[in-house]
Amino acid sequence: MPKSSATVQPSAARSAPPIWVNIALFSLTFLAAIVVVPWYGITHGYSAAAWVLFGVFLAANELSITAGYHRLWAHRTYEAHWSLRVLYLIFGTMAMQNSAWIWCSGHRRHHLNVDDEELDPYSARRGFWFSHIGWMLREYPSGKTDFSNIPDLRRDRMLAFQHRHYLALVLLTNLGLPLLAGWLTGDLWGVFLLAGVLRLVVSHHFTFFINSLAHMWGSRPYTEDNTARDNPVLAVLTFGEGYHNFHHIFAHDYRNGVRWWQWDPTKWLIAGLQFVGLTRKLKRTPVFQIQRALLAMQFARAQSSLERVAPTAAPSRISELRQHISREYDSFLAAVADWAKVKEQWLTEKKRAVAEHWEHTSFQLRFKELEQRLRLQRRRLRVLQAQLA
């Protein structure tokens, strides 16, 4: 797509020149999806092949954005074989969300300045419409192209080629691939409308939901320092990107759904491809750091609940609960200090390259003991919060 942008002030928003190419693109494809696609289905019908190709191209586009543009290039959470990177570029281009350079540069600015109405390209504090699609419809100052934050990506010849020839590649993938697939299956227009037009519109808005709804709807179990939220419904629609609260505090983890049962097919894809040598060096946040973030939020909410019930509860009961929270918090700080000490010792041994296997195992056992301490403390805090409810 053409250049996209954000905003500085409401007055600037009103004066920002419209980006007519983007307005036309989003308007025409949306109208075609809600008018032409149903009309053709009623009058001609769609083949099974057209529906299958719609699903295949949609999945390929979404995974190329989530696993490629987002987790590989924007956050460098793992490394990928060149053949996989080629596929990411082909279907990422087909998703028509701009070149990887522009997409990743804007996304890094978003993480650095999240919720800042002047610097975040798609700040959710400007409202649903702005963060969902409005930021791409006008030339807002903070949306100006600035590649100073992607020096690593600018050295990648493959990404440079895509950026230089982006328009030609967009036409080739969005017209050529659906039409070729339609011709091969004997349903030229059916495949083009479903796997071409409808697929593009659905792919766009599913991705845009992360910029808008994932900052407005859901829970914040890890941090309340920003508007990002965890939402399992959005995770299903976006191939795992819906666990956005976790992502904004641990952006360099290749996972968004960190629990084994959380729906994150992008995580499973990246981890699965490791076994055949297509991905490597997957970055994972230490369990203790995740537990620490969860506990910190529990303490904050327990304190808030205590203040809420204090005016109506017996003073002796409130005093008892305050002492309970204080003891738990002291235990929490002690665990954090112990973990930092063990980690420092482990790093020292690793740097000196003198740790034997049994020493390494000993460190791992100590880490697991500390992680278990935090898990048990989280259970105790849940009981306490139930008493305060």
324-343: average pLDDT:
65
- Rounded to 5 degrees, φ, ψ at 219 are -105, 160
222-235: average pLDDT:
96
Residues 73-112 have pLDDT tens digits of: 999 999 999 999 999 999 999 999 999 999 999 999 999 9
Residue 300's pLDDT is: 75
Find residue 264's DSSP bridge partners.
none
State yes or no: pLDDT of 184 exceeds 70. Answer: yes
What is the band of 46 on the pLDDT scale with cuts at 50, 70, 90? very high
Supply the angle between the helices 100-112 and 157-164 in degrees, to the nearest 10: 110
Residue 363's pLDDT is: 64
Token pair listed for 131: 């963060």
Those residues whose C-beta lies under 8 Å from the C-beta of residue 35, and which sit 6 or more positions away, are none
Residue 6's pLDDT is: 39
Residue 12's pLDDT is: 53
- Mean pLDDT, the chain, whole residue set: 87
Helices (H), 223-286: 232-237, 244-249, 265-274
- Cα 236 to Cα 314: distance, rounded to the nearest angstrom: 46
State yes or no: pLDDT of 179 exceeds 60. Answer: yes
- Cα 164 to Cα 143: distance, rounded to the nearest angstrom: 19
* Pairwise pLDDT comparison (267 vs 384), residue with the higher score: 267
Which percentage of the chain shows pLDDT scores above 70? 77
235-243: average pLDDT:
97
Residue 309 CB: number of other CB atoms within 10 A?
14
State yes or no: pLDDT of 7 exceeds 50. Answer: no
Residues 49-78 have pLDDT tens digits of: 999 999 999 999 999 999 999 999 999 999
160 within 8 A of 154, measured Cβ to Cβ: yes
* Pairwise pLDDT comparison (10 vs 285), residue with the higher score: 285
Residues 110-149 have pLDDT tens digits of: 999 999 999 999 999 999 999 999 999 999 987 788 999 9
179-183, 215-219, 293-297, 351-355: least confidently modelled range: 351-355
pTM: 0.83
- Rounded to 5 degrees, φ, ψ at 230 are -90, 130
